[in-house]
Structure 1
Amino acid sequence: MYQRQQTTPNSFLFDSKLSEVTPEGQSGIGTSRSGEYEDGQMFDMDAVESESIFTRSIQLISSLLVYFRLSQLASIASTPVTPKKTRYREETKQLINLVVVGHVDAGKSTLMGHLLYQLGYVDQRTIHKYRQESARSGKGSFAFAWVLDETEEERSRGVTMDVAKTSFETISKRVVLLDAPGHKDFIPNMITGASQADAAILVINSARGEFETGFENGGQTHEHAMLLRSLGVGQVVVAVNKLDTVDWSQDRFHEITTIMELFLTKQAGFSHVRYVPVSGLDGDNLSDRIQSSHPLAKWYSGPCLLELIDTFSAPPRASEGPVRIVINDVFKMTTNLLSLSGKIESGEVEAGDKLYIMPTGDAAVVKACSNDNGGAVDICMAGDQVLLTLNGTFEADTIHTGHVVVSGGQDVLMPCRHFVARIVVLDIAPIVKGTKAELYCHSLCESCTVVKLLSSINKGDGSVIKKKPRFLAKQMSGIVEILTDREVAIEAYTKCKALGRITIRARGKTIAAGIVERKLS
């Protein structure tokens, strides 16, 4: 009789009665062994032991992988890094990363495409071509939108699907324009665009019934505004578009701005919002103020859209901090070369710098870098949208959007799966222990689980209201523990704001937003 303790799918203990079964005329070599559960049923002892050996082997391999992973990260963290003196680039204009958001069909792409045309960034021949092609496809009014909606699918569907990126200049600013999608199916892409922004234009469709559809439940005007604020965008201009469809009505403009002002300042938390009446299709009040003969001149004498864009201020840049470059796209990847685009959230880079890509830990050396102007530059700095070419040893399909390029040594960013966050609940459905969701932070998206509710807190002073609450309801704030399915490159908000802001979505809705307080593992 052998006594063995085994955890089975039913989680019970059994006594195994082992006996050797030897075919007649054969020795014990090659015999099979069987056992008997307490209920009399037989089992194959060899299969049990084989399964046990297999399980132990898997556990050993997993332990070795964890050991090698920790050794890899420890090696990166202990790598000596030669201190670099911060360099300053001569700038004649401030850099502004500007995202354009709003409900689907608000006219975002048409508005900005027409502005680019008026500024001379798109020539007459191109617009003439777009007018002919869009008319043939039955979308004659989409010619200016095609300046930014460049893919065949976007043009055939008539909606922006990904973030279009271009640049232009005002009198005092160098603007990187991020045209974000408005359809609810592409909210993840909108978050990617907004997470890179210093300021925003929120486009409103003022046509009768259209503003109401975009603002009420299910409309993206409301969600986009909340996302902007949770992602740290504090400067916003509301472009009240398509006002020509209501004969440039002052009453309609006042109705919309009154509703939006109450929502944006009292609920979303913006401190100062400016409004401008425009027509993206006709190009009115975009790059120049309207003439005195224009119907709008009867009641509006304020600045045009371009003038308001020029008033945005650039936030402080962390050029002296450790290198943190969020990857927004990977263009080319071979075994020894990687080309990517991203935004430098802190630090500065130049050719020859040795960097690391997290969470994979791949080492790389900068071969070349260029900023949003498209030309190679000696140095790229915090705030820049960059194109990087890196040399290294890379495995196919291992580096993606949402990974982060970092410096080594004591400044390295350690990836994690488990962290503590301070959140505010935005959805009607409460958050409970075990809530499954998608975590958004900078350009990454990863499945996650809320594994603990540590406390509910006062939104004003952060004091604890209740420890270990059973749930967090809408508008409640709390401290929670979150576990992601895979390692992610994030940081505490106090170390890097851009890598410490999080948005949590589930069931196609934004359910919470907050900041990373500390990483656990």
Structure 2
Amino acid sequence: MKIDQNQLLRFTTAGSVDDGKSTLIGRLLYDSKSIFEDQLASVEQTSKQKGIEGVDLALFTDGLKDEREQGITIDVAYRYFTTPKRKFIIADTPGHIQYTRNMVTGASTANAAVILIDARHGVIEQTKRHTFIASLLNIPHVIVCINKMDLVDYNEEVYNNIVQQFEEFSSKLLIKDVRYIPISALLGDNVVNRSEQMNWFQGSPLLHELETLHISSDINKIDARFAVQTVIRPQREGFIDYRGYAGRIAGGIYRVGDEVTVLPSGFTSKIKSINSGEREVSEAFAPMSVSMTLEDDIDISRGDMIVRTNNQPEMLQEFDVMLCWLNNDAAKARTKYSIMHTSNEQKAMIKDVVYKININTYDRVTDDKSLHMNDIARVKIRTTHRLMLDAYRDNRNTGSIILVDDSTKETVAAGMLV
């Protein structure tokens, strides 16, 4: 299969604390020669100050001062690198259980998830939690790296046992593609180059897997969805009668002359013109940002959605989502939050916790209606007005919501429509 050299792969790393995620990314950058000389010199100096011989690879991603002092990752660190075969954006997410919420952020746009497991400890709760989130976010590829194989004498039986452990629970999830690689991030085994210590492993190193993964577009090309962000009414000569609706296309294709419906009002019209920047175009598609005009003068404002008349989303005021609770404080019963959906913002309330997920067993817990940090649950939400919704599996943009606490302005939860 020929790989497009300009194709971008977004992947996230996840695992428990000290599983070696930052070291793995440092090894990828270092061995693929993707480190700038001044950055390398700075890390070498910091490593020397810490009394470490050679280079502390984890410092290439642990950029925050607190992280460097503690040797842990407490925020999502994004890194960009490129090889002759592909471009990459890495989201290095935290391992501590109290930062699981950051993985939701880092993984939300990922094409693949690299999940690390310490060969000495095997599959633990955080492994299952991160894998479940990867499944929930509909990430198509999961690469399981069994790390620190050097600390178990590169034992094949240890590797096989962990693969079996992982398969036992991941088979219950909706993950299309799972791959396994035994590695040592610290020493470089099977990261960029094949390991001489593990001749029993016949697969490819991690970088080769990342370079050759098939990236299927997660953009919905069928269901036309255009959420209006702002109405453009320029007050200058030549544009007095111009009334454009600007936003980013979340799905499908729009062409001049198409019959469209404006939701939630239900008024219909036809597309008169489409502008992409300063240029007028005959058609536009996701994820382009455009401004379009309609043949009829319709009252349209931010939060409205322009869709194809013969292909409309559901308009619901009450609906179920799989919710990841992100806030330190527990959810308050019957409390109103601000709900953000595309460009639409209004008030919402968690009406019911249908069930919570037991991360260790994936069983549904129906007798616990509380929501605490890192809880994953199916909940029923009621909004002030109807929202234009698609299932998350059909469209990530129109199938996702976030809840914001009005008093603190903190994002308290992220949800995927089921």
TM range (shorter): 0.5 to 0.7
- The match for 2:318 is 419
Are 1:516 and 2:407 counterparts? Answer: no
Change (3 A) 1:439 1:273: farther
Provide, for residues 390-437 of structure 1, a one-character-per-residue CA deviation record: whole Å limited to 9, x for no partner: xxxxxxxxxxxxxxxx997625999x99530155999xxxxx995889
Change (3 A) 1:317 1:225: closer
Equivalent residue in structure 1 for 2:13, among 72, 84, 100: 100
Counterpart-to-counterpart distance in 2, 1:136 and 1:452: 54
Equivalent residue in structure 2 for 1:251, among 150, 153, 157: 157
What letter corresponds to residue 190 of structure 2 in structure 1? N
Q: CA deviation at 1:239?
A: 0.8
Are 1:289 and 2:208 counterparts? Answer: no
What letter corresponds to residue 305 of structure 1 in structure 2? L
Counterpart-to-counterpart distance in 1, 2:347 and 2:6: 40
Q: CA deviation at 1:491?
A: 3.4
- The match for 1:43 is none
- The match for 1:149 is 62
Counterpart-to-counterpart distance in 2, 1:289 and 1:134: 26
Are 1:308 and 2:209 counterparts? Answer: yes
Equivalent residue in structure 2 for 1:410, among 301, 306, 314: 306
Q: CA deviation at 1:305?
A: 0.5
Q: CA deviation at 1:169?
A: 3.4
- The match for 1:205 is 118
Provide, for residues 114-169 of structure 1, a one-character-per-residue CA deviation record: whole Å limited to 9, x for no partner: 11111121046633431331342467788211211212122112111222222233
Matches within 5 A, 1:429-444: 434=333
For 2:95, what is the secondary structure of its paired residue? coil
- The match for 1:264 is 170
Cα RMSD between the aligned structures?
Answer: 5.1
Change (3 A) 1:304 1:441: farther
**Do 1:425 and 1:513's aligned partners in 2 also have CA atoms closer than 8 Å?**
yes
Matches within 5 A, 1:268-417: 268-290=173-195, 294-297=196-199, 299-318=200-219, 321-322=224-225, 346=251, 410-411=306-307
Counterpart-to-counterpart distance in 1, 2:23 and 2:336: 34
**Do 1:319 and 1:381's aligned partners in 2 also have CA atoms closer than 8 Å?**
no
What letter corresponds to residue 40 of structure 2 in structure 1? I
Counterpart-to-counterpart distance in 2, 1:313 and 1:345: 22
Change (3 A) 1:201 1:493: same
Provide, for residues 346-388 of structure 1, a one-character-per-residue CA deviation record: whole Å limited to 9, x for no partner: 579xxxxxxxxxxxxxxxx9989xxxxxxxxxxx98579xxx9
Structure number with bigger Rg = 1
**Do 1:102 and 1:220's aligned partners in 2 also have CA atoms closer than 8 Å?**
yes
**Do 2:225 and 2:250's aligned partners in 1 also have CA atoms closer than 8 Å?**
no
Counterpart-to-counterpart distance in 1, 2:66 and 2:287: 31
For 1:99, what is the secondary structure of its paired residue? strand
Q: CA deviation at 1:278?
A: 1.1
- The match for 1:37 is none
- The match for 1:450 is 350
- The match for 1:493 is 391
Counterpart-to-counterpart distance in 2, 1:119 and 1:442: 40
Q: CA deviation at 1:439?
A: 10
- The match for 2:264 is none
For 1:103, what is the secondary structure of its paired residue? coil
**Do 2:227 and 2:342's aligned partners in 1 also have CA atoms closer than 8 Å?**
no
Counterpart-to-counterpart distance in 2, 1:489 and 1:102: 35
**Do 1:192 and 1:443's aligned partners in 2 also have CA atoms closer than 8 Å?**
no
Are 1:193 and 2:106 counterparts? Answer: yes
**Do 1:201 and 1:237's aligned partners in 2 also have CA atoms closer than 8 Å?**
yes
Change (3 A) 1:502 1:276: farther
Number of aligned pairs?
Answer: 326
What letter corresponds to residue 108 of structure 1 in structure 2? K
**Do 2:29 and 2:81's aligned partners in 1 also have CA atoms closer than 8 Å?**
yes
Q: CA deviation at 1:271?
A: 3.8
**Do 1:502 and 1:514's aligned partners in 2 also have CA atoms closer than 8 Å?**
yes
**Do 1:322 and 1:407's aligned partners in 2 also have CA atoms closer than 8 Å?**
no
Counterpart-to-counterpart distance in 1, 2:401 and 2:378: 13
Counterpart-to-counterpart distance in 2, 1:313 and 1:325: 33
Counterpart-to-counterpart distance in 1, 2:53 and 2:347: 41
Normalising by structure 1, report the TM-score. 0.51
Change (3 A) 1:132 1:421: same
- The match for 1:223 is 129
Q: CA deviation at 1:238?
A: 0.4
Counterpart-to-counterpart distance in 1, 2:338 and 2:251: 22
Change (3 A) 1:420 1:408: closer
- The match for 1:181 is 94
Are 1:167 and 2:80 counterparts? Answer: yes
What letter corresponds to residue 194 of structure 2 in structure 1? R
What letter corresponds to residue 399 of structure 2 in structure 1? G
For 2:389, what is the secondary structure of its paired residue? coil
For 2:101, what is the secondary structure of its paired residue? helix
Counterpart-to-counterpart distance in 1, 2:386 and 2:74: 25
- The match for 1:337 is none
Counterpart-to-counterpart distance in 1, 2:225 and 2:144: 35
Q: CA deviation at 1:481?
A: 2.8
What letter corresponds to residue 310 of structure 1 in structure 2? E
Q: CA deviation at 1:243?
A: 0.7
Equivalent residue in structure 1 for 2:46, among 96, 113, 133: 133
Counterpart-to-counterpart distance in 2, 1:245 and 1:163: 27
- The match for 2:257 is none
Change (3 A) 1:287 1:422: same
What letter corresponds to residue 169 of structure 1 in structure 2? T
What letter corresponds to residue 214 of structure 2 in structure 1? S
For 1:197, what is the secondary structure of its paired residue? coil
What letter corresponds to residue 127 of structure 2 in structure 1? T
Change (3 A) 1:487 1:223: farther
